[in-house]
Structure 1
Amino acid sequence: MTVFIALLRGINVGGKNKIKMAELREMFEKLGYIPVKTYIQSGNILFQSNEGEDELRKKIEHQIEEEFGISINVILRTASEMEQIIQNCPFSEEALSQAKEAAPDVETLYVTLLLEAPNPENVELLEEYQSERDQFKVIGREVFLLYHHSVRDSKLATNLHKLNVPATTRNWKTINKLVTMAKEMEGFRY
Structure 2
Amino acid sequence: MPSVALLRGINLGAKNKVDMKSLKILFEEMGYENVRTYIQTGNVIFDNASHDVGQIESVLREKYGFDIPVVIRTKEELEEIQKHPIFSKDQVYVMFLEKEITDEQQVLLNSLVDDEFIVWNRRNVIINLFKNYHQTKFTNAFFEKKLGMTSTARNQNTVNKISLKM
TM-score (normalizing by structure 2): 0.88
Out of 36, 39, 57, the residue aligned to residue 53 of structure 2 is 57
Question: Which residue in 2 is equivalent to 1:153?
Answer: 135
- Residue 112 of structure 1 aligns to a residue whose secondary structure is strand
Question: What one-letter code is carried by the residue in structure 1 that aligns with 2:128?
Answer: L
Out of 64, 67, 79, the residue aligned to residue 63 of structure 2 is 67
Larger radius of gyration: 1
Contact kept? 2:71, 2:96, Cα under 8 Å: yes
1:1-190, aligned counterparts within 5 Å?
2-51=1-50, 53=51, 56-87=52-83, 89-91=84-86, 96=89, 100=90, 108-127=91-110, 129-132=112-115, 134-157=116-139, 158-161=141-144, 162-182=146-166
- Runs of 4 or more, structure 1, over 6 Å off, are none
Q: Which runs of 5 or more residues in structure 1 are unaligned?
A: 101-107, 183-190
Q: Show CA shifts across 1:11-37 (max 9, x none).
A: 111322110101101101111223111
TM-score (normalizing by structure 1): 0.78
Question: What one-letter code is carried by the residue in structure 1 that aligns with 2:124?
Answer: E
Please report how far the alpha carbon of residue 176 of structure 1 lies from its aligned counterpart in structure 2 after TM superposition. 0.6
- The answer to which of 116-125 and 163-172 deviates more is 116-125
Contact kept? 2:87, 2:156, Cα under 8 Å: no
Q: Show CA shifts across 1:85-114 (max 9, x none).
A: 212x24285xx2xxx4xxxxxxx1000111
Find the aligned partners of 2:14 and 2:112 in 1 and give their Cα distance: 29
- The answer to which of 155-164 and 4-13 deviates more is 155-164
Identity %: 33
Contact kept? 2:3, 2:45, Cα under 8 Å: yes
Q: Which runs of 5 or more residues in structure 2 are unaligned?
A: none
Contact kept? 1:111, 1:171, Cα under 8 Å: yes
Contact kept? 2:10, 2:16, Cα under 8 Å: yes
